[in-house]
Each structure stands twice: as structure tokens, then as C-alpha cells.
A and B are shown apart, each in its own frame.
Chain A
């Protein structure tokens, strides 16, 4: 259901507080879409560690790289995107070389607030619009963008609006308005808010949703609650665990596992599970969005198997 709605879009923007696992969710979403036969591009922005690693692939860097049939990743470096733009508008090699090498250009680019964000979003738009083959068809069925963490994620999405107001005429304003139009088109673009069952992440998800919808005017499609602790004991078993713990029971659970330690783990699990439920309820009340919960995975490093598992959960939602 939720996946159908997202797959009907051309562009999906993921956002949420840092550390909520946006890139994992992005990879899982890309795999889910890909397994439905879509050509998918997963876009990251200046990511220190790329989501490609979850897919068992090498980092793509600035080049769109096919990590498996029909699934591409790219990690946009704003500086490189800007250089490309300069090359695009300045046709003579000697000239753009001179520009790119000039310290003025570098300083200006490093310091001009919002320019990087605008360039990156412009590039995303170009990727969304790119056509291939004959007859022409979209190069990608779906572009998924892993936007930078919330505070800046919102600033990121606000840039086209700000730029179109700051520079009403000329190519900057023109492009800013085109980007804004794409972001605001509910047929083409959907926002996915990512959170985890923790106070700060939940508060931020609610704030972010409100600002993105009201200020940027982007259509929100879904909420993904990542790293949920799901029930593993029945209610009777939970009661038994708490009873045993209060009695200070000891003994063995299995080879090498004492009952006392196992009860500590079980109590922690129950606490986390309750917290998960609490935040699920709160988010359901606060946000008018379909919510998908993904499980916490007890893995040291997530790999293709973990991502497949999460993708299956997205598929089932």
C-alpha cells in the first residue's frame, strides 16, 4: 500500500534527525522499488559513508553507478556539482578552466549561503528529468534523495523558496522556481519522514513535518519509524520475566547463559518495547501520515541481508 503510493512518484525525499538511519531506510526503499522492477537512483549528499555499503557495493562517488541491475547510487559533492554547472554554462574550455581555478570563485562558493544546496537540488532535478533511448523515456523511474539531517535538511529544502524570493529574475530565480515546482508537485514528489522511537527524534519529526508541509509546501507521503523494538514475549511471559526478576532468580537459561543476565536483557527489551509502543501511539496522533515501523536489527554492521529484510517489511506495509 505505502509502497504503491511512493512508487507512483518520481522523486522521494527522505528526511529526519541525524542518526535515525535515513540511509538504511533509503537503501531499503531503493531495494523494495527495484524488486518491483523499477529503475531506481538513490542520491546521497556529501555522505561520508555511502549507503552503497549496505548493498554490498563500492562507493559510487559523484558518478551514478549501477550497484545491481536497475539500482543506481550516487553521492553528490556540492563543489563538483557547481563545477559541472560552470562548465555547462561556459562553453569555452579555456574560460571555465580560468574560472574554476580562480580563488575568487572558490571563496565565493564556499561562503555564499545556500548556493551549495541550490546546486545539489538543481542536479537532483536534472537527474529526475533526464531521458534516454528512443522513444525517449525517463532514465530513472524513481529518484530517492537522502536529505541532510533535519535542521539542515529543512534549510536544504527551503533554499529554492528563499532563492526564488531573493532573486526573482534571471537564471538562478528561474531554476529555483523550477525546483520548487517539482518539490511542490504531489503527483511527482513525496516526502518520507524518518524517525526512531526516542523523544528527540520524535519531536523533531513532528516539527519537521509541519515546517516542510507549511513552509516549503512539499507533500508528505509516509512516516517510517526505524529501529523499533518489537514484542518478543507474550504478555504472560513478560509478567513471568518481571516476577522472576523481582525474586532475584538465578540459574541457567542455556549453555553459558545465566538466568540473572538473561532477565536483565529481557527487562531491557520490555522497557524498550514499551517505549516503542508509546512513541508509535504519539506519532500516530501527531502526524496524519501512514506509519511503517521497521525493526531494530541486532547486527554489528548492516549488509545486503539486513536491507532485504527491511525492504520486505516496506513491501508488506
Chain B
């Protein structure tokens, strides 16, 4: 399945997406380097003349680290990419999502008057939902995305997401929100009893009374009261919310959007990438490319690449036998891991029919713009040839010639 040509073609496709799309959503399971990839892709686009905003909805705020900044605010902040000499117009911003502020802004946008606004913002249930609880991030990420997509300052928005399972939440957030706002039954159940702001169990129908009593048992009257106040307060906003949710739904399926799936070469994360790929397809969302991060180098390959550049090397020096044994052991360990990763990657390629863009592990940890530039270069190595030839075909040839004791596919 795997060939240097198709991998390069994938990189070209990814590169084209960076030039042409308006929104790129970067997804994957935890710890695979989504944030770093999102930032590297953003940088690449900026260095090709686009005005790019990289936005993370990751509540653990990793983007700041990968950009070498201590803090990123809830507002776009311009990064200094001048030292890489971007073409005219090329610029880059970064931001993290401030869930609470986004939620408040949404409420302010949709409430008719000061009184309605105050009722919501002061509702106990709202206060917790908007800031603390898991799940709010996804709602607000989609809201913010819609907001940003209309922002004239940016040509491209690269959106980083939380780990896979939650990134799926993100994708379905618009639909779920519409679902909940649509729960006319819930409103039917709660509304009559709370109109006056207080609760009574004396209700018209026996079914209604029973349902309410059960809900009380499960959740408690106070909770129901807060909840119903919350729903009542949102009453005037249903239409606005619904409309925005529908627009996000469309936006994510639009030709101007694209999804990049990031994985590490470990088998488990590749399996998750496969699952996610299927979900995107089923959901009718435009898939652009896989990126497999930090593939561990095959040491004999690296040696082969480096050899040509060295002149006047000595041959067969005398080395202590004990050191030779240790060298052999360290070599075998790394070779084994590299081979295992290659097998996993080949498996994902075979099962999806997509070529993967593979980014080799960097010499040092990446957490600044310079490191991001290196990754961006590595991502598109085949697109703009940097080193002599392309190592990928060569890697295979040597893998076969590596001799006994090495497991190869």
C-alpha cells in the first residue's frame, strides 16, 4: 500500500487545503500532538501568505506551551512570525477558548432585555454549566467557531480539539443542542409548574403529577426548579440558538471546511483514528488527511542518510566488546519499535485506502515557533524537496536488507 508517491500526494492535498479552505479542524486521541500539529499547519499557511488563526478548545491549554508562550488569552493574539520571512499578507494569531466568556456573549446576543439577561446570568444552574462542567467546552467551541468564521481578519481558522471521544462530542454538539432545545416534552413537563417561580405538585393531569414526582425523587425539587428557571430564561433564545446550531452543522459539512486526523504511530491511537475516519465519512464531513506524528526513526535508515554527507571516515575502529554488546542491544530495541510502528501505519493505510503524512520524531521536544517550523517542513518534505531524494522508498529497501534477527513486515 505504502509508497513515497502516494504519501507525497497526500501532503500535496493537505497543502492545498491550507491554501484554499477557510476552516481546518484538527482531531485525534489524547497525546498524539494535535495541538502541535494544528500550530505547525497554521504556521505553514501563514508562511504561504494567509492570515491564520489557530484556536484551541482544549481545556488544558496546550497551545500556549507549543507556541512557547506562557499564557494565551480568550482573544486572538498576534504571533511574531516575521523572522521566517512570510510573504506579504501572511500572519498568524493564536487563542484559546474562554468557555464562560463565550457563553455569556451568546446569552447577551440573544436576550431581548437587561432583565432577561440578568435572570440567566444569575441562574445557579447556568453559572455552573457555563464555566465548570465538562461538556460546555464543546458547545462553546462550536459557537466560537461560527463567530470566528465570520471574522474578516482571518482567511483560515485552524481549530484544535480535545481528545477523540470528546472531539466527537464537539462534532455532535450542534445536533445535541438542537435536540435538547427541541425537547418540547421537557418544557411541557416543567413550564406550567414554575411559571410563578415556585413549585407545586398540584398539577392538572395525573400523568404529569407522577412524572414530576419521579423527577423529584431522581433529581430533587430544587434542582428541577433551577433547571426549569434555566429553561424558562432561555425560552426567548430557543430560536436563535437553534438557528446557530443549524449553521454550525452546515459549516462543518461545507466544502470550505476540512478535517485533519492526527495519530501517533502507536497501534491504539491509530485504531482510534480509524474509528474517527469512519465517523467523519458517515457524518458527511470533509476529510482532508491523516497526519502520523513522531514516527520513531529507523536507526539504520538515518545512518544511511547521514553517510553520504560525511567525508574521510575511518573504517572499523577497535571498540570495547562490552560496548559493542550494549550498542547492539540499543540498536535492536529501536529497530524493533520503528518496525512495529511501520506495521501499524501500513495497517491503517490498508484499511482506509488513504496515504498518511508521516512526521518523524524531532531531535528535541517541540515547544516554540522554531520547532513548529521544523515540523511544518517535515510535514511537507515531499512537496518541496529539502533533502536529497526522498528517503521513503529507500527506507523500505534497507529494511529488507537489515539481516536476520529483525522482524519485518
Which residues on A sit within 8 Å (CB–CB) of B132?
114, 155, 158-159, 161-162
- The answer to whether the Cβ of B124 comes within 8 Å of any Cβ in the partner chain is yes
The CA-CA distance from A208 to B132 in the complex, in Å, is 15
Q: Which 9 A-B pairs have the closest CB atoms?
A: A18-B30, A19-B31, A170-B220, A256-B403, A113-B135, A248-B313, A151-B60, A114-B133, A155-B134
List, in ascending order, chain A residues with CB within 8 A of B44's CB: none
- Dominant secondary structure of chain A at its interface with chain B: helix
14 A-B contact pairs sorted by A residue (CB < 8 Å)? A49-B271, A104-B185, A108-B183, A108-B186, A151-B58, A151-B61, A155-B134, A159-B132, A200-B365, A248-B312, A256-B405, A260-B304, A264-B302, A265-B331
Among the listed A85, A156, A251, A255, which residue makes an inter-chain contact with B317, where contact means beta carbons less than 8 Å apart?
Answer: A251
A316 within 8 A of B: no
Q: Is the CB of A237 within 8 A of B326?
A: yes
**Cβ contact of A254, chosen from B134, B176, B303, B324, cutoff 8 A:** B324
Task: Give, as a whole number of angstroms, the nearest-CB distance from A109 to chain B.
Answer: 10
Q: Which of B12-20, B81-89, B334-342, B385-393 contacts A (4 or more CB under 8 A)?
A: B334-342
CA distance A153 to B307 in the complex (A): 47
> How long is the Cα–Cα vector from A291 to B171 in the complex, in angstroms?
38
CA distance A49 to B268 in the complex (A): 8
Beta-carbon contact of B31 and A203 below 8 Å:
no
- Among A33-41, A126-134, A179-187, A267-275, the stretch in contact with B: A267-275
- Contacts between chains A and B (CB distance < 8 A), count: 281
Say yes or no: is B148 at the interface (Cβ < 8 Å to chain A).
no
A111 & B314 in contact (Cβ 8 Å cutoff): no
Do A19 and B402 touch (CB < 8 A)? no
> Would you call B316 and A149 a contact (CB within 8 A)?
no
CB pair B314 A248 closer than 8 Å: yes
Give 1 or 0 for each of A229-265: 1 = CB within 8 Å of chain B CB: 0001100010011001001111111111111111111
Q: Report the Cα distance A247→B316, complex, angstroms.
A: 11
Task: Please tell me if the beta carbons of A114 and B129 are within 8 angstroms of each other in the complex.
Answer: yes
* Closest CB in chain B relative to A99 CB, distance in Å: 7
Q: What is the CA–CA distance of A95 and B137 in the complex, to the nearest angstrom?
A: 34
A residues with a Cβ closer than 8 A to B are 17-20, 46, 48-49, 85-86, 89-90, 95, 99, 102-104, 107-108, 110-114, 116-117, 148-152, 154-156, 158-159, 161-163, 165-174, 198-201, 203-204, 207-208, 232-233, 237, 240-241, 244, 247-266, 268-269, 271, 275, 298, 300-301
Nearest-Cβ distance from residue A97 to partner chain B, whole angstroms: 13
> Contacts A17-B31, A199-B365, A240-B323; is A167 near B220 (CB within 8 Å)?
yes
Chain B: CB-nearest residue to A48: B272
- Chain A residues contacting B73 (CB-CB under 8 Å) are none
User: From residue A175, how far is it (CB to closest CB) to chain B in Å?
Assistant: 10
Q: Judging by beta carbons under 8 Å apart, are B220 and A201 in contact?
A: no
Chain A: CB-nearest residue to B58: A151
Residues of chain A within 8 A of B29, CB atoms compared: 18-19
Kindly specify which of B161-169, B232-240, B253-261, B277-285 makes contact with the partner chain: B161-169
* Shortest Cβ distance from residue B200 to the other chain A in the assembled complex, whole angstroms: 16
> Is the Cβ of A107 less than 8 Å from the Cβ of B220?
no
Report Cα–Cα, A204/B30, bound state, in Å: 13
In the complex with contacts A110-B179, A204-B60, A256-B406, A232-B125 CB distance below 8 A: no
Give complex CA distance A266, B288 in Å. Answer: 37
B351 contacts the other chain (Cβ, under 8 Å)? Answer: no
- Asked whether B228 is an interface residue with its Cβ less than 8 Å from the other chain, the reply is no
Contact assessment for B363 and A166 in the assembled complex, using a CB-CB cutoff below 8 Å: no
Binds A, one of B46-54, B111-119, B149-157, B211-219: B211-219
A153, closest chain B residue (CB): B60
Assess whether B80 is interfacial by the CB under 8 Å rule: no
Q: How far is the CA of A256 from the CA of B58 in the complex (A)?
A: 46
Complex CA gap A20/B29 in Å reads: 12
- Cα(A76)–Cα(B221), bound, Å: 28
Q: How large is the interface on B (under 10, 10 to 19, 20 to 34, 35 or more residues)?
A: 35 or more
CB distance from B233 to the nearest CB of A (A): 15
For residue B102, CB closer than 8 A to chain A, the reply is no
A177–B292 CA distance with the chains assembled, in angstroms: 43
The 8 A CB mask of B305-332 against A (1 = contact, 0 = none) is 0110010111111011001111111111
Q: In the complex, what residues of B have CB within 8 A of residue A247's CB? A: 313-314, 317
Contact A256 B404 (CB under 8 A): yes
**Residues of B contacting A260 in the complex (Cβ-Cβ under 8 angstroms):** 300, 303-304, 306-307
Which residues of chain B are near A89, meaning CB under 8 Å? 214, 217-218
Residues of A within 8 A of B307 (CB): 248, 250, 260
Instruction: Given A159-B134, A300-B340, verify A261-B62 contact (CB < 8 Å).
Output: no
Measured between beta carbons, the chain A residues less than 8 angstroms from B319 are: 240, 244, 251, 253, 259
> Which B44-101 residues have a C-beta within 8 angstroms of A?
58-62, 65-66
**Complex formed: what's the CA distance from A46 to B313 in Å?**
55
Given known pairs A151-B60, A152-B59, the reply for A201 and B31 (CB within 8 Å) is yes
Residues from chain A with Cβ under 8 Å of B352 in the complex: none
Given A255-B404, A298-B334; 18 other pairs, CB 8 A cutoff: A17-B31, A18-B30, A19-B32, A49-B271, A103-B185, A107-B179, A155-B132, A155-B134, A158-B134, A159-B132, A162-B128, A167-B223, A200-B66, A203-B62, A232-B326, A256-B403, A260-B303, A264-B299
- Kindly state the separation between the CA atoms of A18 and B183 in the bound complex, as whole angstroms: 35
Quick check: A86 and B306 within 8 Å, CB to CB? no
**Residue B220 contacts which of A20, A95, A158, A172 (CB distance < 8 angstroms)?**
A172
CB contacts (< 8 Å) of A266 on chain B: these are: 327, 330-331
A261/B300 in contact, CB under 8 A = yes
CB closest chain-B residue, reference A17? B31
Beyond A117-B134, A152-B162, is A108–B326 a contact (Cβ under 8 Å)? Answer: no
Does B249 lie at the interface of the complex (its beta carbon under 8 Å from any beta carbon of A)? no
* CB-defined contacts of A17 to chain B, threshold 8 Å: 30-31, 60
